[in-house]
A and B are shown apart, each in its own frame.
Chain A
Amino acid sequence: MSAAEFELTRLPVGKRAEVVRVGSVGSMRNRLLDLGLVPSTVVEAVRKSPAGDPVAYKIRGAVIALRSEESRQITVRSLD
């Protein structure tokens, strides 16, 4: 149950994790809530931009790219 928690930034491409906590504040938090990024949501890292950042995540069927500043605020726990 208590698998290690880590920042979403460190989720390797192709791996899935479950959201534990969203630390973002203000308008970015609203934006993430709009996308359905709430605790217990399953997130998969899909691909990295050729420049390494942003990273695209599969969130509830949609592919959404987040910058590392944003994904660092999101704590997840590994599912794989």
Chain B
Amino acid sequence: MAHLEAEFNRLLQLAQAEGSQMGTVRDRIVQTIYREAQDIAEKAVKLKGKAEDVDRMIDNVVTSKIWGYPLMLALLSVVFWLTISGANFPSALLAEFLFGLQDQLTALFQWAGAPDWLHGVLVLGMYRALAWVVSVMLPPMAIFFPLFTFLEDLGYLPRVAFNLDKLFKKAGAHGKQILTMCMGFGCNAAGVIACRIIESPRERLIAILTNNFVPCNGRFPTMIAMAAIFMGLLVSNYNSFTASALVAGVVVLGVSVTLAVSWILSKTLLKGIPSTFTLELPPYRIPKIGSLLIRSVFDRTLFVMMRAVVVAAPAGMVAWILANIQIGGLSILAHLAGWLQGFGCAIGLDGFIVLAFLLGLPANEIVVPILIMSYLAEGAMVELDSIEALRELLVNNGWTWLTALNMMLFSLLHFPCATTLLTIRKETQSLKWTVLAALIPTGIAIAVCFVVAQIVRGLGLF
């Protein structure tokens, strides 16, 4: 027995000694592999210095102290401007076409003698929500994603990460997070997928959990409308420039919250999770337009679109049912809003707004249409012709500039849409992080709106 034990201890020591040697063994293997590879490469590969010189010249400008940041801001502004202004016309066309198709569908249902409720659920509920999401979402994404993919293929985006890394390092995050945030402007679900480019586990989780603080395409129209209404309620005549500045301010606030939350996460929940940083600055390339279009349109635009369609259709149905089933003379929607009224009021909103955000969980695009539907007590989602008509409706329902302001803040900070949450679940493979990805922003949104409402009311502004 005693000699067996001695034998065992001897083997154990041997194994431990081998184990501690493993690190250096691995180093030696890697070193040998690279030496071999280098020898072969020296014999077989001839390098031309030209392309590299051009790259260095471009980088001298793109990452310079003087031009680095202004160039970055200018390029991003151009991308946004092209997206927002370029999407208006095709969005209107698409809406006209899809809502025109709705009349055809209605005619078809009448011809077939279908009952009213069936027409309501399928056409006024489901189809309208779908038409809505597609016409609002598709054009900006079809412009934004190819432009963004162009900058990506060009090799410019890693330079942006290079320029901004120090800022993100201070927040405990990775420079590449700026790229996932830019992607988030197109769609937060796409932004969360983009976090795969961050190889360090801790920084990747930080980027996933905070992507939602960048307002996506589905929330941008809400922000723009709310900014116009806020300015309209605050001063009698305002110009569109101040409303745009307000939207820009909201975006800056979103970025600040992103950095603050990243910093807190890296110091608390994500403390101790390993972190590495390496960032490749690849050679510049002229993008191949064909593959660029295929990737940006099929892999990004249509992929995101399909996911949104899948969740928006049932949401439209539910909203229609809630708005059309009456209990004791009031729709279920109105009952629910009544229950939420106290909470909504405390955070500077009202019951209908909170309910619209909850029903809009599947897709942010349908929040404002649901809200208009509930204020008008109409059976289906509608859009008003002008911002003035919308403002009148809102004021008649007790809105002040505080409501518009808090609506903007809540929209910026609240829980991610269902598509994004599903994507987070898929990317993190963890229910815990998915739940936190919903709870953290919601907590912040409620806290910020509550504080703003209390300050404004405390100052006696209302």
Contacts and interface: CB of A to CB of B under 8 A. Distances in A.
Interface stretch (B93-101, B272-280, B294-302, B394-402): B272-280
Given A27-B274, A38-B27, A64 B169 contact: no
Interface string B275-298: 011111110000000000000000
Contacts of B26: 33
Contacts of A70: 276-278
B277 A67 contact: yes
Interface string B63-100: 11100110000000000000000000000000000000
Interface string A43-55: 0001101111110
B152 interface: no
B61 to A, nearest CB: 11
Contacts of B238: none
Interface string B13-27: 000000000000011
Contact of B165 (A41, A46, A49): A49
A26 B169 contact: no
Contacts of A61: 47
A41 B68 CA distance: 30
B34 interface: yes
Contacts of B164: 51
Contacts of B175: 54
Contacts of B280: 62-65
Contact of B68 (A22, A40, A50, A63): A50
B163 interface: yes
Contacts, number: 84
A80 B269 CA distance: 46
A51 B167 contact: yes
Interface in B155-187: 162-167, 169, 175
B199 interface: yes
A28 B276 contact: yes
Contact of B278 (A39, A49, A53, A64): A64
A50 B69 contact: yes
A36 interface: yes
Contacts of A32: 278
Contacts of A79: none
B47 to A, nearest CB: 8
A36 B34 contact: yes
Given A31-B199, A51-B167, A70-B277, A38 B34 contact: yes
24 contacts: A26-B274, A28-B276, A28-B277, A31-B278, A32-B278, A35-B278, A36-B34, A40-B31, A41-B34, A47-B60, A49-B162, A49-B166, A50-B64, A50-B163, A60-B34, A61-B47, A62-B280, A62-B282, A63-B280, A65-B279, A66-B277, A67-B277, A69-B277, A70-B276
Interface of B: 26-27, 30-31, 34-35, 38, 47, 56, 59-60, 63-65, 68-69, 162-167, 169, 175, 199-200, 274, 276-282
Given A54-B162, A54-B165, A54-B277, 20 more contacts: A22-B27, A31-B276, A33-B27, A38-B27, A38-B34, A40-B31, A47-B63, A49-B163, A50-B63, A51-B164, A54-B175, A60-B34, A61-B47, A63-B282, A64-B281, A65-B279, A65-B281, A67-B277, A69-B277, A70-B276
